[in-house]
Every structure is written in C-alpha cells, then in structure tokens.
Amino acid sequence: ETGVTQTPRHLVMGMTNKKSLKCEQHLGHNAMYWYKQSAKKPLELMFVYSLEERVENNSVPSRFSPECPNSSHLFLHLHTLQPEDSALYLCASSRNTGTQLFGSGTRLTVV
C-alpha cells in the first residue's frame, strides 16, 4: 500500500446518476492529482491541486468536478457521464519533489 487510499474500488453508474470518487492520504503531501487511465490514453492528467488550490485543469469536461476540502482529501464528483468516460481513475499525491504516489484507482463503468 502506498498510503494513498481510493474509494470505491469499483463503480457502475448510469448516465443520469451522480456519484463521487474519494481519495485520501495522510502522508503530509501538499499536492494531489486526478488521472484518467484508459486503453486509448494510458495516463491522462485531469486535475492538480497544490496547497488545496486547483493549479491545473486539462480541458476536462464539466461533468467532472473536483473538490479538495483539505490537504488530505480529494474528491471527484461525477454527473451525467458518458459511456466513453468508463476508465480507471487514479489519484496521486506528492510533496514538492515530484515523486507521486498513486492509489489503486477506481474502476468506473458508465452504462
């Protein structure tokens, strides 16, 4: 275990549902990241939070909404997703030097 915990591990949701992914770390890291991993794009950076402020948003559709209430927690709120959003969603955290530690991911299936 890396110390980065993601829940749930698996999620199946309909296109009209609203759900949230959760990421938690107690490593003292001050940056947190959301990645999307699919067969087409192996590691696609979605959002970066540094010191709880969003510092990067890589043209992600508004149906994905991140939230970072404190330095230990990161959420990804999902609504009206499309089947092509089915993927493994990975959370990572780091402290300054770029060494990112990843969680095990949430396998999302949109039906």
Partner 1 sequence: QQQVKQSPQSLIVQKGGISIINCAYENTAFDYFPWYQQFPGKGPALLIAIRPDVSEKKEGRFTISFNKSAKQFSLHIMDSQPGDSATYFCAAGTSGNTPLVFGKGTRLSVIA
Angle made by CA atoms 34, 20, 94, in degrees to the nearest 5: 25
Dihedral sign, CA of 29, 31, 34, 38? negative
Number of residues that bind partner 1 (CB under 8 A): 27
Q: Which of 57, 82, 99, 109 binds partner 1 (CB under 8 A)?
A: 99
Handedness of CA 13, 14, 15, 17 (dihedral sign): negative
Which range of residues in 14-22, 49-57, 65-73, 74-82 is near partner 1 by CB under 8 A? 49-57
Q: Tokens 């890291």 belong to which residue?
A: 29
Among 21, 25, 36, 48, binds partner 1 (CB under 8 A): 48
- Interface contacts to partner 1, rule CB under 8 A: 2, 4, 6, 30-31, 33, 42-43, 45, 48, 50, 55-56, 90, 92, 94, 96-105, 107
